[in-house]
Structure 1
């Protein structure tokens, strides 16, 4: 597996596939090293088509491609892995379905105990958040940046998520996050590629 660090772009829910592809291309060219396809829509055909295209885009830029919470979709498009929620059984099932080489990420919210359990269950990386108030998940629990120092011994990459923008990302990187997961700070900006470049530069 290539190094799992840097800018981790997460796609917004959208039916506008053309715009999504255009924005993702710009974000990858701007320096995102990991791309997660996140779409909670019910249109399975659209999701498969979007995921297939984005997987190809990520491969063409030597970026990792992760699917949010859908093991079968991840397998169908040849994704590098999947990101799952708090259920340890979900981690084990994803590992069994996708194999030992797959990247399995786990949301751990504000809990170091959940992170330790996730690693024990086979997670490849853990995500803490929301580190800042998030428009995507306004009710998300707040996760202090001190978690990154406290989790330094986990032995897997630690991702920060939630409300991260160019204005506050430096503090997150300084706190020890191996990667910063960003949605609105990229895809809601006038120039997603420029926003990606600014954030990716923090890891160079």
Structure 2
């Protein structure tokens, strides 16, 4: 993505760590939890790869269309799964945002790592608003609830850690959209 190298590497680390934890969450005994974790792992690792600073690595031209295809497939899967519940719509928006950023990077004169590439301002603004609201709501959901004590679930089933991962990916998406 665009921008200075230090914040770019921090974003790469955040997204890669989130993707790695989501892989751990795929070991959950809850099938719904496993599927969501798989979608989120793909998003985390894809965001980490896309956020590598251009000063460190300039990917070949075919990488951005490949991202668009992979996340287009993820968006279609999220759309298909959303038939059974609206909680999958966030995955659809996230995958569509990744497709949008990959298309913008494809259209950029230097394969997306130079300053000056830009997307459609209205679409970028809409995605920024969506992810800003998502981050705020996700942050509120992390606040402790009085009297919510009980047995400690396994690592893959910890809802507060899953929410923290979603929050960090939302923040990462905001950062990436700001650089478009």
TM-score of the aligned structures, taking structure 2 as reference length: 0.30
* Structure of larger gyration radius: 2
Which protein is richer in strand relative to its size? Answer: 1
